[in-house]
Homo-oligomer: A and B are copies of this chain.
Amino acid sequence: MSKRYSVAIVGATGAVGEKMKEQLEKREFPIKHIKFLASKRSVGKTINFQNQTYTIEEATPEAFEGVDIALFSAGGSVSKVLAPEAAKRGAVVIDNTSAFRMDIDVPLVVPEVNPQDLHAHKGIISNPNCSTIQMVVALEPIRQAYGLNQVVVSTYQAVSGAGTHAIKELEQQSQTFGETKDTQATILPVKSAEKHYPIAFNVIPQIDVFDDNGYTYEEMKMINETKKILHMPDLAVSATCVRLPVVSGHSESVFIQIDKEDVTVDDLKKLLADSKGIQLQDNPAQQEYPMPLYAEGEDPVFVGRIRKDLSNNKGFHLWIVADNLLKGAALNSIQIAEAMIEEGIL
């Protein structure tokens, strides 16, 4: 009988924690024992897992004794304190926050792209930012086949990336058709920020707070994480990250420049159709292209609208959509654990 693991989910009551639980069930992850951890506030609440009822326990350092795999999604500050404690106690931490992503000692992994990086782990592995994950799944096969020297991405991001309260706010504001300007907004773009704007029937070009260079943290995450995951520190990557009135599913308009001359759209379509984790949806004649409404609840990264740039033989445009809570977060975390088992690390 193959090995089974003791798993803990930290942040079990959040949007991503909930999806992590669902993915463990759906993918029949080899679980020996599971515990659900959260802040003191949620202790005592119950969670149903594989038809059994579990009581949420407090996330303390001691709670990680005997845990093999700790899946963190309770915010960066929780991870910063508790992930090292979990690792110290022998757990492998798979952290869905940005706390350790750019740490040189922490692998930042998308299993379809850089599973080999898992071998260098020192107890903590970071799950990349949602918008980064879906993009690099599409970029890596292109990089391997044709080289890659420039990426310009504009995102179309769903509110679920800002948590369940943001979804609720979109739902409420959506009732105010024609009067949305006067709606009260309290969550987006950033809960802790000074100003909040309605998201229903609006577009907010701010995700996360601003860096001094005029880019948002979300944009800097996409730029820096893409370079790290692809092992291309000098790749020209730029990002503009934008929030939309969509519940789930991030979309991305991506311009790339490859190294090789004379690659065709059909070459790219064939390559991506055969690549791991990708579902090609690209048939303009049939109006087939990826859309977030239909990506919700689905595992793959959907790629379509592949076009050659009309002024640049090495330029291409792609439209990339994925469920930001699944491939962008919970699913990728579980896939990291599965890849570690497959690679013989766990």
List the interface of chain A (C-beta within 8 A of B). Answer: 150, 152, 154, 156, 170-171, 174-175, 177-178, 180-181, 189, 193-195, 197-198, 200-206, 210, 213-215, 223, 234-238, 240, 242, 244-247, 249, 251, 253, 255, 265, 284-287, 289-294, 296, 304-312, 315, 317, 319, 321
Contact = CB atoms under 8 A, between A and B. Distances in A.
A251 B287 contact: no
A201 B160 CA distance: 12
A291 B240 CA distance: 14
Contact of A156 (B150, B170, B203, B321): B203
A275 B149 CA distance: 34
B240 A319 contact: yes
A225 to B, nearest CB: 14
25 contacts: A152-B152, A152-B255, A170-B201, A171-B178, A174-B174, A181-B293, A195-B286, A197-B291, A198-B293, A203-B251, A203-B292, A205-B289, A205-B290, A205-B291, A205-B319, A206-B287, A210-B285, A213-B310, A214-B305, A214-B307, A234-B311, A236-B311, A238-B315, A242-B253, A245-B245
How many copies are assembled?
A: 2
A201 B238 contact: no
A317 B238 contact: yes
B177 A171 contact: yes
Nearest to A159: B201
Nearest to A204: B291
A161 B189 CA distance: 26
Contacts of A178: 171, 247
Contact of A246 (B203, B290, B319): B203
Nearest to A220: B310
A203 to B, nearest CB: 5
Nearest to A307: B214
B294 A156 contact: no
Contact of A305 (B240, B244, B285): B240
A189 B292 CA distance: 15
A122 to B, nearest CB: 29
A263 to B, nearest CB: 14
A64 B246 CA distance: 46
Given A253-B154, A255-B152, A287 B177 contact: no
A95 to B, nearest CB: 26
A253 B240 contact: yes
Given A194-B287, A236-B312, A238-B317, A245 B201 contact: yes
Contacts of A214: 265, 284, 305-308
Contacts of A174: 174-175, 177, 200-201
Which of A189, A204, A214, A309 is packed against the most chain B CB atoms within 10 Å? A214
B203 A244 contact: yes
A144 B324 CA distance: 41
A223 B312 CA distance: 14
B251 A213 contact: no
Nearest to A183: B293
Contacts of A289: 205-206
Given A170-B201, A201-B247, A205-B305, 14 more contacts: A156-B203, A171-B177, A171-B178, A181-B294, A195-B287, A198-B293, A203-B249, A205-B253, A210-B285, A214-B265, A214-B306, A214-B308, A238-B310, A240-B305
